[in-house]
Amino acid sequence: MRRSAVVTALSTLGLLAGVAAPATAAVEPPRPVFYEAPTYVSGVAGDVIRSEPMTFKIDPAGLSNLVMTSARVLYVSTDRTGAKIAVSGTVLVPKTPWIGIGKRPVIGYAAGTQGLADRCAPSRMQSEGLEYESLFIKGLIERGYAVALTDYQGLGTAGVHTYMNRVAQGRAVLDAVRAAQRLSGSGLSSLNPVGLVGYSQGGGASAAAAELAASYAPELKVKGAVAGAVPADLGAVATNLDGGLYAEFALYGVRGVAAGYGIDLHPYFNATGRQVMDEVEGECVTDLFNHAFVSSKTLTNDGSSFAQMLNRAPFAAIVAEQRTGTIKPAMPVLVTHSVLDDVIPFTVGKTMAKSWCSKGANVYFSPNATPAHIGGMLNNSAEQYAFFEARFAGLPQLSNCWAL
Across the range 274-296, mean pLDDT stands at 93
Across the range 376-397, mean pLDDT stands at 95
What pLDDT is attached to residue 25?
43
What pLDDT is attached to residue 3?
34
Q: Does residue 57 or residue 209 have the better pLDDT?
A: 209
Length of the chain measured in residues: 404
- Name the band, by pLDDT with cuts 50, 70 and 90, for residue 86: very high
Least confident window among 59-63, 173-177, 199-203, 398-402: 59-63
Give the separation between CA 240 and CA 262, rounded to whole angstroms.
26
pLDDT digit string, tens, across residues 212-254: 999 999 999 999 999 999 999 999 999 999 999 999 999 999 9
What pLDDT is attached to residue 2?
32
Q: Could you give the dihedral angle defined by the CA atoms of residues 378, 382, 387 and 389, in that order, rounded to the nearest 10 degrees?
A: 140
- Name the band, by pLDDT with cuts 50, 70 and 90, for residue 127: confident
What pLDDT is attached to residue 249?
96
pLDDT digit string, tens, across residues 299-313: 999 999 999 999 999
Return the ∠ at Cα 210 (arms to 208 and 214), rounded to 5°: 115
**Minimal CA–CA distance to 16: which of 166, 122, 143, 106?**
122
What pLDDT is attached to residue 294?
95
Q: Count other C-beta atoms under 10 Å from residue 394's C-beta.
A: 10
Mean confidence (pLDDT) of the chain: 90
What pLDDT is attached to residue 67?
61
User: Side chain identity at 343, as an amino acid letter?
Assistant: V
- Name the band, by pLDDT with cuts 50, 70 and 90, for residue 61: low
pLDDT digit string, tens, across residues 311-337: 999 999 999 999 999 999 999 999 999
Residue 65 has pLDDT above 70, yes or no: no
Judge whether 264 and 376 are in contact, CB under 8 Å.
no
CATH no. for 3-233+320-403: 3.40.50.1820
pLDDT digit string, tens, across residues 2-54: 333 333 333 333 333 333 333 344 456 678 999 999 999 999 999 999 999 98
pLDDT digit string, tens, across residues 144-177: 999 999 999 999 999 999 999 999 999 999 999 9
Judge whether 255 and 265 are in contact, CB under 8 Å.
yes
C-alpha distances in angstroms, 246 versus 66, 171, 189, 374? Answer: 37, 27, 40, 12
| For the chain, counts of helices (H) and of strands (E) | 12, 9
Provide the 8-state DSSP code for 164: T
Q: How far is CA 383 from the centre of its chain?
A: 18
Percent of the chain with pLDDT over 90: 82
Across the range 61-72, mean pLDDT stands at 69
Across the range 101-120, mean pLDDT stands at 96
